[in-house]
């Protein structure tokens, strides 16, 4: 899939998971460096915000935006996945006061490769927002074509509200 970064064409290594398809099994790391399997993460409906680098302005704003909405959806998991290391994520959360969203590291690119979102030439995952059910079925997806653009927060949150 083609996306752009500041107008430069980039290609993901595969085709991102389709709506109504099952998210592949993948592993990411939590902020302590422990491996977390998608099987353990999807114990209920989950919103996954994929950001390329938590230390950039758009990624930071996106994560803080969703972090503010966690309390409105007590029955939904909120995750941010980035290619930053667990240590970088932990430091960012402490500096930015983000304590409601769970940040997960895809620094080994397992999620990005299996979901078709990894951009090998840039070493990052494409910015996207996903809602999956407890079986891993994709209920909602938005893949942002220009990586420096913000996701449509309202659409994602309205979709979550429609599930409640």
Query: How remote is the C-alpha of 82 from its chain's centroid?
Result: 7
Residues labelled catalytic: 59
Q: Do residues 48 and 111 make contact, with C-beta atoms less than 8 angstroms apart?
A: no
CB of 151 within 8 A of CB of 9?
Answer: no
For residues 118 and 14, give the distance between their C-alpha atoms in angstroms, rounded to a whole number: 8
Tell me, letter by letter, the H, E, C secondary structure of 47-63. EEEECCCCCCHHHHHHH
């Amino acid at each position: 899939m083609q996306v752009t970064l500041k107008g430069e064409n980039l290609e993901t290594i595969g085709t991102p998971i389709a709506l109504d398809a099952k998210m592949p099994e993948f592993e990411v790391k939590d902020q302590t460096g422990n491996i977390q399997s998608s099987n353990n993460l999807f114990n209920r409906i989950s919103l996954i915000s994929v950001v390329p680098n938590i230390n950039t302005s758009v990624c930071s704003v996106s994560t803080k935006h969703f972090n503010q909405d966690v309390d409105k959806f007590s029955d939904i998991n909120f995750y941010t996945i980035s290619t930053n290391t667990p240590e970088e994520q932990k430091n960012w959360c402490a500096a930015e006061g983000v304590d409601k969203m769970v940040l997960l590291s895809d620094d080994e690119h397992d999620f990005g490769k299996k979901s078709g979102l990894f951009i090998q030439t840039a070493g990052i995952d494409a910015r996207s927002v996903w809602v999956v059910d407890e079986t891993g079925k994709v209920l909602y997806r938005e893949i942002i074509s220009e990586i420096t653009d913000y996701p449509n927060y309202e659409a994602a949150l309205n979709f979550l509200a429609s599930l409640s």
